[in-house]
């Protein structure tokens, strides 16, 4: 793969990976709720990523989970960073969490990297050049039947939101093959691109959760949409192989709309 932004993205990822073993899993803060933790590592890794990129590209801008957004001008490159996607897993030493770095120009993600730390897998995509995992090309699932679909999902930090998400899951669980819940949206979406799950849905994701992974999935042949009707202001994200996407998204959107009535 070739893109002028790819070497910078890989350098930033390498700096974060090198820093991670020295970091603490200690929870030092919370965000949206008491169950939405921030560890010392979250902040250290995001700072390492930002600093590495800024050294090479001082005019670029950032948006990240821990340090928010810098001023952004149209036409400039924006980096979208989630230093640890799956912080709860990380804080519990559950090996399902990822470092996610995306480069966006004019509202389109052009380069995406997701490093699944626990499995030592690097998902990589460049727009128009496909997607790989540790250098092996990816291909999304060819499944077309909802009843045979293995689907990933996730739950929010708000107890009220989780209850509504569980109601949707209760309704759809006997209409699909089964559900998997790994606890890191970026990994779930990349695994959709890899065909390890046939589809994925979740409400309430932020741009840093899905930016890099969405390019991996779509470059592997999956379809991806975010901000579909979900719970209030929490939009619904769906990713699936092209033959399954319409059936899955229509069914999940319909269930959320039913809850809203």
Question: Block means of pLDDT (10 residues each) for the chain, length 261 residues?
Answer: 95 96 89 87 96 96 92 88 96 96 96 97 98 98 98 92 94 97 97 98 96 98 94 91 98 91 70
> What stretches of the chain show up as alpha helix (H) in DSSP?
6-19, 40-56, 87-91, 159-172, 185-194, 207-219, 245-260
How many Å is the Cα radius of gyration of the chain?
18
pLDDT for the residue 74: 80
> Which pLDDT tens digit goes with each residue over 147-175?
999 999 999 888 888 999 999 999 999 99
pLDDT for the residue 75: 80
The model's pTM is 0.96
Q: ∠ CA 208-184-108 to the nearest 5 degrees?
A: 30
pLDDT for the residue 196: 98
CA 158 to chain centre: 19
Q: Which residues share a beta bridge with 136?
A: 133
pLDDT for the residue 232: 81
Structure tokens, 235 = 């939009």
pLDDT for the residue 233: 80
164 contact partners, CB below 8 Å, separation of at least 6: 231, 256, 259
pLDDT for the residue 163: 93
């Amino acid at each position: 793969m070739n893109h002028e932004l790819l070497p910078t993205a890989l350098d930033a990822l390498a700096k974060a990976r090198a820093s991670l073993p020295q970091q603490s899993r200690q929870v030092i803060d919370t965000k949206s709720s008491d169950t939405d933790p921030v560890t010392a590592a979250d902040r250290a890794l995001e700072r390492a990523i930002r600093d590495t990129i800024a050294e090479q590209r001082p005019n670029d801008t950032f948006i990240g989970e821990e340090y928010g957004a810098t001023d952004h001008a149209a036409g400039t490159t924006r980096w979208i960073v989630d230093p640890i996607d799956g912080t709860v897993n990380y804080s519990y030493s559950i090996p399902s969490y990822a470092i996610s770095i995306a480069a966006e120009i004019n509202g389109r993600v052009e380069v995406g990297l997701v490093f699944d730390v626990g499995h030592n897998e690097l998902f990589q995509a460049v727009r128009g050049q496909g997607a790989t995992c540790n250098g092996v090309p990816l291909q999304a699932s060819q499944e077309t039947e909802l009843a045979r679909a293995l689907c990933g999902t996730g739950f929010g930090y708000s107890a009220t939101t989780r209850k509504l998400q569980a109601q949707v899951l209760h309704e759809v669980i006997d209409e699909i093959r089964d559900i998997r819940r790994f606890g890191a949206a970026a990994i779930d979406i990349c695994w959709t691109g890899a065909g390890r799950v046939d589809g994925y849905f979740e409400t309430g994701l932020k741009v840093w959760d899905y930016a890099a992974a969405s390019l991996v999935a779509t470059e592997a042949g999956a379809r991806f949409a975010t901000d579909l009707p979900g719970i209030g202001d929490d939009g619904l994200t769906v990713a699936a192989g092209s033959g399954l996407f319409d059936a899955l998204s229509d069914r999940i959107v319909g269930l959320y709309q039913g809850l809203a009535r």
